[in-house]
Amino acid sequence: MISTLKRMAAGIFFLTLAFYACKKDTETVTNTVKDPVYFLRGNATGAQEAPNKVTTTATGTLAGRYNKDSNTLSYTVTWTGLTGGNATAGHFHGPADPGVAAGVVLPFTGITSATSGTFSGTATLTDAQETDLLNGMWYFNIHDATYPGGEIRGQVVLTQ
Q: How confident is the model over 47-75, as a mean pLDDT?
A: 97
- The answer on 89 and 15 residing in a single domain is no
- The answer on 123 and 49 residing in a single domain is yes
Task: Considering only residues 16 and 154, tell me which one the structure prediction assigns the higher pLDDT.
Answer: 154
Alpha carbons 78 and 120: distance in angstroms, whole number: 9
State how many domains the chain has.
Answer: 2
- The answer on 88 and 47 residing in a single domain is yes
CATH number of domain containing 81: 2.60.40.200
- The answer on 61 and 78 residing in a single domain is yes
- The answer on 48 and 16 residing in a single domain is no
List beta partners, residue 119: 77
pLDDT of residue 147: 96
The per-residue pLDDT for range 117-149, each reduced to its tens digit, is: 999 999 999 999 999 999 999 999 999 999 999
**CA atoms within 13 Å, Cβ hemisphere of 96:** 23
CB of 157 closer than 8 Å to CB of 41 = yes
- The answer on 73 and 29 residing in a single domain is no
Q: Give how far the C-alpha of residue 27 lies from the chain's centroid of Cα atoms, to the nearest Å.
A: 27
- The answer on 69 and 8 residing in a single domain is no
- The answer on 13 and 42 residing in a single domain is no
- The answer on 143 and 67 residing in a single domain is yes
Segments forming the whole domain that contains residue 21: 1-33
The per-residue pLDDT for range 1-56, each reduced to its tens digit, is: 555 555 555 555 444 444 445 444 444 444 445 679 999 999 999 999 999 999 99
- The answer on 63 and 2 residing in a single domain is no
Does pTM top 0.75 for this prediction?
yes
Alpha carbons 58 and 80: distance in angstroms, whole number: 6
CB of 124 closer than 8 Å to CB of 78 = no
What is the chain's percent helix, strand, coil content, to nearest 5? Answer: 25, 35, 40
pLDDT of residue 6: 57
- The answer on 4 and 56 residing in a single domain is no
Alpha-carbon torsion (149, 125, 132, 38), positive or negative: positive
- The answer on 42 and 26 residing in a single domain is no
Beta strands in the chain (DSSP E): 37-45, 59-67, 72-80, 87-93, 104-107, 117-124, 139-144, 152-155, 157-159
